[in-house]
Amino acid sequence: MNQSTRSATDQAPADPTAATDDALATQPIGYWSGRAHAVVTRHLRDAMARIDVTQPQYWVLNRVDGGLTAPSVGEVVDQLTPLADGPYDIARVLDQLLHRGWIRSDDEQLLHLTEAGENARRQVRALATEARATVHEGIGDDEYVAALKVLRKVIDNAEAALAPAAGPTATPSSGRTAARSSSGRR
């Protein structure tokens, strides 16, 4: 079942009970990747809710802490908005974290974690690490890496199929190039 060329495998309807390799080979990747996203995200967000933190708040805490230089509000919004549920979510999260005293803005409008923000970031990181261990139970690093490589390839293939006539652009999945349509969407 290790084919590196185009597969002629028939696309079957989603079947959560598919058990054999042959049956799994016909399953739609969108169903399974969507299901994994929904279940894993719900697990993580439920765990974070127990300590009154949201996943977007954690993203912002990591982004404010994660660079060589302090980011501006605009940089954080631009970088994290594609991950959020809506276009204004990250700006709202910044307001929430400023109100909580977990981040502060300096005279140049650059963002910094406060001591309370760093403590919260560490606490949520430990919780996220624990949640990751739960969902990765019984999955070795080699299997996990293989699964991510397959998903990256699926994303690259789908993006390339969406816009075959436009110029190249880097894809978020792999850093490799893919075509971009005239509308700018991948």
Paired residues of 178 in beta bridges: 169
Average pLDDT of the chain to the nearest whole number: 85
Nearby residues of 178 by Cβ (< 8 Å), 6 or more positions away:
156, 159, 160, 163, 168, 169, 170, 171, 186
d(CA 175, CA 173): 6
Whether the model pTM is above 0.75:
no
The predicted-structure confidence for 75-132, as pLDDT tens digits, reads as follows: 999 999 999 999 999 999 999 999 999 999 999 999 999 999 999 999 999 999 999 9
Tell the residue number behind the tokens 């999260």, with chain if given.
Answer: 93
Tell the residue number behind the tokens 């079957």, with chain if given.
Answer: 12
Q: Which residue has the higher pLDDT, 179 or 123?
A: 123
The predicted-structure confidence for 47-88, as pLDDT tens digits, reads as follows: 999 999 999 999 999 999 977 899 999 999 999 999 999 999
d(CA 29, CA 145): 17
Q: Say what the pLDDT of residue 67 is.
A: 73
Q: Say what the pLDDT of residue 182 is.
A: 35
Compute φ and ψ for 169, nearest 5 degrees.
-150, 155
Q: Say what the pLDDT of residue 22 is.
A: 86
Q: Among 128, 121, 135, which residue's Cα sits nearest to residue 38?
A: 135
